[in-house]
Amino acid sequence: MNRSDSIFDTQRTMKFHLELTDKCNAACPMCGRTKEMDRCLPDMTKVRNIELDLDLIKRNFTPDLCSRISEIDLCGGLGDPPAARECLEICDYFVGFGIKVILSSNGGLRSEAWWKRLGELFAGTESLVEFHIDGLEDTNHLYRVNTRFGKIMRNAKTYLETGAIGEWHFIPFQHNEHQLADALTMSREMGFSKFRVIDTIRFGEKNGFTYQLPDGSLQELNPANPKLIDALRTDTEKAEPAAPQDQHEHRSTIRCKSEIQNRPYIVATGVVSACCWIEGSEDERRMYSKAGVDQGLTHNIRHRPLEEILLEEPYRTVYPQAWAQQANPVCVRKCARMQRSRRSSL
Ligand SMILES: C[S@@+](CC[C@H](N)C(=O)[O-])C[C@H]1O[C@@H](n2cnc3c(N)ncnc32)[C@H](O)[C@@H]1O
Ligand code: SF4
Ligand code: SF4
């Protein structure tokens, strides 16, 4: 098969987005794993408590494939990477090929010794940890429910002391916006290389979000004052442009981020997908049904080799046709109208 027939080109430099696990210590109310109106308990219709292990990774990410991979994001939609039993070993495997690993975490799991080992592994390389910390001692747990700020800080400090790169990512809300400047200062003092704010778009039309804490009390999330963030902002990322002010003035052409970056997504079940936005959506089900492929069985790295999967339908003609016809609402929203949560550095 001609490799250019697929939106993914396994002979070109690749990136990957991996969900190592769907396990998590936290219960962020706006996260897909959380039942926000039921004491932030995990939604067991989605969470299976599974993970990708080192053996499975090695089988699919062969040395030959790894030699063409520049970057792997350990993030995902439902879990925290350090919750995967072999997280450290998997990082070690990828770093051994000179791959830049970006690990996203709430920072609340594991011991200081574990974070020291991760730091020692990443030190002197481009690999980094994004610590997602949305506030200080008295506020972080209002979004990062069930986490303890003191433990997160001790883990981050231990990691950073190894000389490895760490970034502090902060989602501003009304309840933590007054702490942005202090958190920024603290991040510089601790040795974080970047402090980035995530402008969340998960409020939807209502511009408010009610949830129930584990103790049964009701809480509300409200958007931060954008002027406050703008006053601190020094640089807005060009890679993640803002959604246009006027929704009707959007660009109509879909430019698939995953195709451009040659960056597929793999979830903890082993299922391969085009990206984390389309994964599990009605759009994706339709693409797979058109392709006549059973995604769960056939496009699963537990059952078939990754490099074969990436060159098969729906990644050859089904996706490009759907884009040309504007048939995928998710693709239109994310990769034409650019309705994404924007990140920028302060
Ligand atoms: C599901 S998490 C998985 C990785 C890890 N557990 C974490 O939280 O960083 C994936 C990403 O979603 C982000 N996230 C969580 N809540 C969000 C929100 N309300 N708006 C935008 N991004 C959010 C996290 O910060 C993280 O970058
Ligand atoms: S830490 Fe990440 S995976 Fe866990 S609940 Fe929060 S956003 Fe979801
Ligand atoms: S939303 Fe659609 S167009 Fe955008 S990256 Fe995902 S698959 Fe590609």
- Cα–Cα dist 184/168, whole Å: 8
pLDDT band at 252 (very low <50, low <70, confident <90, very high): confident
Asked if the model's pLDDT at residue 249 lies above 90, the reply is: no
- Cα–Cα dist 242/16, whole Å: 24
Asked if the model's pLDDT at residue 1 lies above 50, the reply is: no
Give the start-to-end residue ranges of the domains of the chain: 3-345
Asked if the model's pLDDT at residue 232 lies above 80, the reply is: no
Residue 339 Cβ < 6 Å to ligand 2: no
- Cα–Cα dist 251/247, whole Å: 9
pLDDT band at 204 (very low <50, low <70, confident <90, very high): confident
Atom of ligand 2 nearest to the CA of 147: 1
Give the mean pLDDT of the chain.
Answer: 94
Residue 28 Cβ < 6 Å to ligand 1: yes
**pLDDT tens digit sequence for 173-185:** 999 999 999 999 9
Candidate ranges 164-173, 196-205, 232-241; pick with highest mean pLDDT = 164-173
Q: Which two tokens stand for residue 250?
A: 């959007």
Q: Which two tokens stand for residue 160?
A: 């950073």
> Is 38 buried (19+), middle (13-18) or exposed (0-12) by CB count in 10 A?
exposed
Say what angle helices 112-122 and 149-160 make with each other, to 10 degrees.
30
Secondary structure in 3-state letters for the chain:
CCHHHCCCCCCCCEEEEECCECCCCCCCCCCCCEECCCCCEECCCCCCCCECCHHHHHHHCCHHHHCCEEEEEECCCCCCHHHCCCHHHHHHHHHCCCCEEEEEECCCCCCHHHHHHHHHHHCCCCCEEEEECCCCCCCHHHHCCCCCHHHHHHHHHHHHCCCCEEEEEECCECCCHHHHHHHHHHHHHHCCCEEEEEECCCCCCCCCEEEECCCCCEEEECECCHHHHHHHCCEECCCCCCCCCCHHHCCCCCCCHHHHHCCCEECCCCEEECCCCCCCCHHHHHHHHHHCCCHHHHCECCCCCHHHHCCCCCCCCHHHHHHHCCCCHHHHHHHCCCCCCEEEEC
- Size of the chain, expressed as the number of residues it contains: 346
Q: Taking the domain 3-345, which CATH number applies?
A: 3.20.20
* Amino acid 233: pLDDT: 73
Handedness of CA 131, 137, 143, 148 (dihedral sign): positive
* Amino acid 134: pLDDT: 98
Atom of ligand 3 nearest to the CA of 323: 3
Contact 276, 73 (CB under 8 A): no
Using most ligand atoms within 8 A of CB, pick from 267, 278, 295, 318 the residue to mutate for ligand 3: 278
Cβ neighbours of 244 (radius 10 Å): 13
Whole-number Å distance, alpha carbon 328 to ligand 3 midpoint, is 9
Range of weakest confidence among 4-13, 88-97, 145-154: 4-13
pLDDT band at 231 (very low <50, low <70, confident <90, very high): confident
Using most ligand atoms within 8 A of CB, pick from 18, 21, 24 the residue to mutate for ligand 2: 24
Considering only the C-alpha atoms of the chain, give the largest distance between any 2 of them, rounded to a whole number of Å.
58
* Amino acid 4: pLDDT: 61
Q: Which two tokens stand for residue 44?
A: 């067991």
- 0.75 exceeded by the pTM? yes
> Is 161 buried (19+), middle (13-18) or exposed (0-12) by CB count in 10 A?
middle
Whole-number Å distance, alpha carbon 31 to ligand 1 midpoint, is 7
In degrees and rounded to multiples of 5, residue 256 shows phi and psi of: -65, 115
Say what angle helices 87-95 and 112-122 make with each other, to 10 degrees.
10
Range of weakest confidence among 29-38, 114-123, 223-232, 234-243: 234-243
Asked if the model's pLDDT at residue 70 lies above 90, the reply is: yes
Using most ligand atoms within 8 A of CB, pick from 198, 220, 340 the residue to mutate for ligand 1: 198
* Amino acid 239: pLDDT: 39
* Amino acid 250: pLDDT: 54
Those residues with Cβ within 8 angstroms of residue 60's Cβ, 6 or more apart along the chain or in another chain: 301, 305, 306, 307
pLDDT band at 235 (very low <50, low <70, confident <90, very high): low
For the residues 328-336, what does the mean pLDDT come to?
97
- Cα–Cα dist 173/155, whole Å: 24
pLDDT band at 2 (very low <50, low <70, confident <90, very high): very low
